[in-house]
């Protein structure tokens, strides 16, 4: 006990000596605090990005495998180049609902949805551009059904990725939130050429059988974003002849006319990015044609978080460097300190204090200084870390808020006050749209765990830097002060 008392006395009566050490530890702990705050806000950003993006797996064409079957065993040579340019792809069976359900029933899949795409005629005029082949028309659908219009069936806002991305935006009306209603939206070009407006009704006609019809009410008019359009030099956009409706409508039409060939595009929301390969393997085992391959949006996600992760990484490196430099400075300071205190060590040793006790006293002194400085440092650091974190988050918060409002406008949702109405099926969150909140209290960035970590680091630094003291105390011969004259 007297060791602690003695340490305390020696501390408060030699304030100047400990001031420098205290200040250094203070600065170190403020820096550590802020760095940890930067890290934690970076983590928060990465997390919100990760939740912003679900990991979506879609099934795309595996061109390599298709090519292999096209020219089995033959390596294409220069001469065959021209033949290569227009390869005749092998027939690909379209996915069926039961197949998709089978694939979706997997431990790796959180959720899945699929969209329909098929061709129909209608009681309105088709827009034909000067380049008569409609590139966007699916070749197969074109050949077999030769319907004038492409009909898309979605089952949620979430699945309408072209609206989320802003490729299409609603210019009038809205996308009905009832995905079972007999409603549709059409392009502004189609609307104007046929003199249609929101509230009008159009009739879809089966290309195989004119008797089979289906009425849809127009709830919205969309237009294609010019930047995203690849219809340069054409009179109409690619999507001019696209009628967007919902899954329920699509399913009913199929029961009416089983000959209509429908292309189903499933999207599987995976549980985590680690399961992509396993999921891929599982699909192959479940019998997915090798002409399909699993494609994910991982690249997009990672490219968005890369810069933030860099910041977090840099903050970590900065922290380590700071701590190393701080440790070295403390070590040297302690060495100088101990040199100055040789006399004291000698006195304590000659009056019978053991090396261990003297070392203990020095460590306790340093611990007290460390403790006080870290406590102060956390106080100051946490006050500073809130604006630091907010500064980092600021841009992201702003853009995320803009994105949310923007997306709602794309769907023709309510604006102004009411714009905060949640959209999407799981509690307002929509893939590709994140919500970020401003840090308002310091425990958001500097929590108990961080504080404990800081004290742990402080303890470690103290022990390391007192090593110099302990070593010189152990090597110090009290005899030297016996020889000292005044």
Partner 1 sequence: MNVLELKNVSYMYDDGNEYVLKDISFAFEKGKVYAIKGRSGSGKTTLLSLISGLEKYKIGNIIYQGKELNAINLDYYRSHSIGIVFQSFNLLPHLTALENVVLSMEINHIKENKKEKAIQLLEEVGIDQTKANRRVLKLSGGEQQRVAIARSLSYNPDIIIADEPTGNLDHETENDIMEIFTELAHKQNKCVIIVTHSKNVASQADIVFELKKSSKRK
For partner 1, how many residues bind (rule: CB under 8 A)? 28
Name the nearest CA neighbour of 116 among 237, 222, 260, 214: 260
Question: In the set 75, 130, 351, 417, which binds partner 1 (CB under 8 A)?
Answer: 351
Nearest residue (CB) to partner 1, 448 versus 482: 482
Please give the torsion angle defined by the CA atoms of residues 61, 62, 64 and 68, in that order, rounded to the nearest 10 degrees: -90
Is there a contact between 392 and 38 (Cβ–Cβ < 8 Å)?
Answer: yes
Please choose, out of 10-18, 76-84, 259-267, 367-375, the segment that lies near partner 1 by the rule CB under 8 A: 10-18
CB of 351 to partner 1, least distance (A): 5
**Footprint of partner 1 on residues 249-278 (CB under 8 A)?**
none
Bridge partners (DSSP) listed for residue 296: 57
Q: How far is CA 407 from CA 164, 303, 432, in A?
A: 6, 21, 9
Nearest residue (CB) to partner 1, 301 versus 348: 348
Is there a contact between 124 and 218 (Cβ–Cβ < 8 Å)?
Answer: no
Question: In the set 21, 127, 348, 445, which binds partner 1 (CB under 8 A)?
Answer: 348
Residue 8 engages partner 1 in binding (rule: CB under 8 A)? no
Buried b (16+ CB within 10 A) or exposed e, 129-162: beeeebeebbeebeeebebbbbbbbbbbbbbbbb
Bridge partners (DSSP) listed for residue 224: 168
Q: What angle do CA 374, 15, 24 make, to 5 degrees?
A: 35
Please choose, out of 95-103, 137-145, 198-206, 349-357, the segment that lies near partner 1 by the rule CB under 8 A: 349-357
In the chain, % helix, strand, coil (3-state, to 5) comes to 55, 15, 30
CB of 18 to partner 1, least distance (A): 12
Buried b (16+ CB within 10 A) or exposed e, 243-268: bbbbbebbbebbeebeebbbbbbbbb
CB of 14 to partner 1, least distance (A): 6
Residue 350 engages partner 1 in binding (rule: CB under 8 A)? yes
Residue 126 CB-density burial (10 A; 0-12 exposed, 13-18 middle, 19+ buried):
middle
Query: Cα separation of 120 and 149, whole Å?
Result: 5
Question: In the set 282, 344, 396, 447, which binds partner 1 (CB under 8 A)?
Answer: 344
Nearest residue (CB) to partner 1, 5 versus 63: 5
Please choose, out of 1-9, 234-242, 299-307, 366-374, the segment that lies near partner 1 by the rule CB under 8 A: 1-9
Residue 479 engages partner 1 in binding (rule: CB under 8 A)? yes
Q: Which residue, chain included where needed, has tokens 């008392």?
A: 5
Question: In the set 88, 98, 130, 486, which binds partner 1 (CB under 8 A)?
Answer: 486
Question: In the set 9, 19, 383, 419, which binds partner 1 (CB under 8 A)?
Answer: 9
Nearest residue (CB) to partner 1, 140 versus 355: 355
Compute the radius of gyration of the chain from its Cα atoms: 35
**Footprint of partner 1 on residues 124-143 (CB under 8 A)?**
none
Nearest residue (CB) to partner 1, 324 versus 479: 479
Please give the torsion angle defined by the CA atoms of residues 435, 438, 442 and 448, in that order, rounded to the nearest 10 degrees: 10
Question: In the set 6, 106, 400, 466, which binds partner 1 (CB under 8 A)?
Answer: 6
Please choose, out of 66-74, 86-94, 161-169, 348-356, the segment that lies near partner 1 by the rule CB under 8 A: 348-356
Which residues make up the interface to partner 1 (CB under 8 A)?
A: 2, 5-6, 9-10, 13-14, 343-344, 346-348, 350-355, 357, 477-479, 481-486
């Amino acid at each position: 006990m007297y060791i602690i008392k003695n340490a305390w006395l020696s501390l408060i009566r030699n304030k100047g000596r400990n001031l420098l050490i205290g200040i250094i530890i203070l600065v170190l702990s403020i820096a550590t605090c802020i760095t940890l705050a930067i890290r934690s806000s970076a983590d928060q950003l990465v997390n919100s990005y990760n939740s912003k993006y679900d990991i979506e797996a879609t099934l795309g064409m595996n061109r390599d495998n298709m090519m292999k079957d096209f020219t089995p065993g033959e390596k294409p040579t220069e001469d065959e180049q021209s033949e290569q340019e227009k390869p005749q792809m092998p027939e690909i069976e379209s996915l069926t609902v039961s197949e998709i359900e089978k694939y979706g029933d997997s431990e790796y899949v959180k959720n899945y949805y699929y969209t329909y795409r098929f061709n129909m005629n209608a009681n309105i005029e088709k827009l034909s551009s000067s380049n008569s082949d409609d590139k966007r028309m699916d070749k197969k659908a074109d050949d077999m059904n030769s319907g004038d219009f492409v009909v898309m069936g979605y089952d949620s806002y979430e699945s309408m990725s072209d609206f989320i991305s802003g490729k299409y935006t609603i210019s009038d009306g809205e996308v009905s939130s009832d995905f079972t209603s007999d409603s549709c939206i059409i392009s502004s070009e189609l609307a104007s050429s046929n003199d249609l407006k929101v509230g009008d009704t159009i009739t879809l006609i089966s290309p195989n059988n004119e008797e089979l019809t289906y009425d849809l009410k127009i709830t919205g008019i969309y237009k294609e974003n010019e930047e995203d359009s690849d219809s340069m030099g054409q009179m109409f956009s690619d999507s001019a002849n696209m009628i967007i409706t919902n899954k329920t409508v699509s399913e009913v039409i199929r029961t009416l006319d089983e000959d209509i060939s429908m292309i189903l595009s499933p999207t599987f929301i995976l549980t985590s990015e680690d399961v992509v390969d396993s999921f891929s393997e599982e699909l192959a085992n479940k019998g997915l044609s090798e002409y399909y391959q699993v494609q994910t949006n991982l690249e997009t996600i990672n490219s968005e978080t890369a810069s933030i992760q860099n910041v977090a990484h840099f903050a970590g490196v900065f922290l380590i460097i700071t701590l190393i430099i701080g440790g070295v400075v403390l070590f040297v300071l302690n060495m100088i300190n101990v040199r100055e205190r040789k006399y004291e060590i000698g006195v304590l040793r000659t009056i019978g204090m053991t090396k261990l006790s003297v070392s203990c006293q020095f460590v306790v002194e340093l611990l007290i200084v460390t403790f006080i400085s870290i406590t102060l440092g956390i106080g100051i650091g946490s006050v500073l870390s809130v604006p630091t974190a907010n500064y980092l988050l600021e841009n992201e918060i702003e853009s995320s808020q803009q994105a949310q409002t923007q997306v709602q406008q794309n769907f023709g949702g309510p604006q102004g006050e009411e714009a905060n109405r949640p959209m999407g099926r799981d509690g307002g969150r929509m893939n590709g749209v994140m919500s970020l909140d401003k840090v308002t209290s310091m425990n958001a960035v500097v929590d108990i765990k961080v504080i404990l970590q800081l004290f742990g680091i402080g303890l470690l630094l103290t022990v390391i830097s007192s090593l110099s003291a302990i070593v010189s105390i152990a090597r110090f011969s009290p005899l030297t002060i016996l020889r000292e004259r005044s």
